[in-house]
Amino acid sequence: MRRREFITLIGGAAAAWPLAARAQQSGTRPTIGYLGSATPATQGQWVAAFVQRLRELGWIEGRTIAIEYRWAEGRTERAAEIAAELVQRKVDVIVTSGTAVVVAAMEATSVIPIVFAGAGDPVGTGLIASLARPGGNVTGLSNQSRDLAGKRLELLREVVPGLGRLAILANVDNPAVVLNMREVQTTARTLGVEVITLEIRRGEDIVPAFEALNGRAEALYVVIDLLVNTHRIRINTLALAARLPTMHTMREGVEAGGLMSYGANSPALLLRAADYVDKILRGTKAADIPVEQPTKFDLIINLTTAKALGLEVPPTLLARADEVIE
């Protein structure tokens, strides 16, 4: 009989070995601390995928495990407070996403395993030692956002033929975002595209950045992180007013009125993160679980925004889209 079949037969409680044995002695269930970077309204689908996969693996919320949900609501300082709280509550593993939030969790603990379901260039930003051997107490999944810069520019040029001047909006206090921005700049230069950077560090910087742009760009590349995601509606409103087609690194930007996005499928990353949690709860050290790169990337196009900008999206591009918002 296969091990997975045996686990299924004996049920979730027995499947939770070895932490289940410890839990019996202490009278508690293993606890997952879920540190959401935004809000339940924006990331509810991510959580649903995560919980469903846990259930498939024998971890049933309320029966064989407990999950403590906390939401940073787009604020880095709040993420740090939550991470400290989860450490104080002695959770068995912390699950989160986004480089800034992962850093907050790492600063709170070097002992409790941390699983990140999407972080930009985890090696380049120092979250892990290497993809194959993460080291420390952190592992998870890269969203590979930096590596997609060339593809995003290629897609944007299909909608904006002859693109010559590109603005990049980025939170330069985020090391992963800075690496992403540099990749866009390098790629743009090889294509003969002039780049104008709109560097922000807080929400109050967004309007002045657009005012300084003053019609000098033909499109806008938006690098989404905790700060930018919080202000994505305002950013898209300003971009629309400036008649700027936008390319976002995550679908949340398009759902909030942006033109296009190309990036890793976030629910798929959370689903895979559940497998990491499963391994850790069964006794594998985070340092020994290789960091994976995503296999599925989604192209999302907002046709309503395209029409508002007076743009004609090529039928060939629409046919390749994973989702078209109308």
pLDDT of residue 52: 96
pTM of the shown model = 0.85
pLDDT of residue 217: 97
CA distance 166 to 180: 15
Question: Would you say 264 and 140 are in contact if contact means Cβ atoms under 8 Å apart?
Answer: no
The average pLDDT across 204-212 equals: 96
Which residues 6+ apart lie within 8 Å of 214 measured at CB? none
pLDDT at 228 over 60: yes
CA distance 174 to 226: 9
Task: State which fold the 3-143+265-297 domain adopts.
Answer: Rossmann fold (3.40.50)
Which residues 6+ apart lie within 8 Å of 10 measured at CB? none
pLDDT of residue 8: 34
Phi, psi dihedrals of residue 196, rounded to the nearest 5°:
-120, 125
Domain 146-264+298-325: assigned CATH number: 3.40.50.2300
In this chain, the answer to whether the domains covering 3-143+265-297 and 146-264+298-325 adopt an identical fold is yes
Confidence class of residue 24 from pLDDT cuts 50, 70 and 90?
very low
Residue 89's CB: how many other CB atoms inside 10 A? 11
pLDDT in tens, 137-170: 999 999 888 889 999 999 999 999 999 999 999 9
Confidence class of residue 325 from pLDDT cuts 50, 70 and 90?
very high
Question: Would you say 72 and 79 are in contact if contact means Cβ atoms under 8 Å apart?
Answer: yes
Phi, psi dihedrals of residue 262, rounded to the nearest 5°:
-145, 120
Question: Would you say 217 and 224 are in contact if contact means Cβ atoms under 8 Å apart?
Answer: no
Structural domain boundaries of the chain? 3-143+265-297, 146-264+298-325
Q: What is the DSSP string of 121-188?
A: -TTTTTS-S-SS---TTEEEEE--TGGGHHHHHHHHHHHSTT--EEEEEEETTSHHHHHHHHHHHHHH
Residue 150's CB: how many other CB atoms inside 10 A? 15
pLDDT of residue 16: 38
pLDDT of residue 146: 81
Confidence class of residue 1 from pLDDT cuts 50, 70 and 90?
very low
Give the CA angle between residues 310, 314, 315 to the nearest 5°.
125
Question: Would you say 214 and 185 are in contact if contact means Cβ atoms under 8 Å apart?
Answer: no
260 - beta bridge partners?
Answer: 247, 301
Residue 75, CB half-sphere, CA atoms under 13 Å: how many? 8
Which residues 6+ apart lie within 8 Å of 62 measured at CB? none
The average pLDDT across 191-195 equals: 96
Confidence class of residue 14 from pLDDT cuts 50, 70 and 90?
very low
pLDDT at 278 over 50: yes
What is the chain's length? 326
pLDDT at 273 over 50: yes
CA dihedral sign, ordered 40, 45, 49, 52: positive
Confidence class of residue 13 from pLDDT cuts 50, 70 and 90?
very low
- Burial (Cβ within 10 Å: 0-12, 13-18, ≥19) of residue 285: middle
The average pLDDT across 3-27 equals: 40
- Between 110 and 21, name the one with better pLDDT: 110
pLDDT at 25 over 60: no
SS3 breakdown of the chain: % helix, strand, coil, rounded to 5? 45, 20, 35
Percentage of the chain exceeding pLDDT 90? 77
Residue 164's CB: how many other CB atoms inside 10 A? 12
The average pLDDT across 248-266 equals: 94
Confidence class of residue 219 from pLDDT cuts 50, 70 and 90?
very high
264 - beta bridge partners?
Answer: 297
Confidence class of residue 186 from pLDDT cuts 50, 70 and 90?
very high
pLDDT in tens, 39-92: 888 888 889 999 999 999 999 999 999 999 999 998 889 999 999 999 999 999
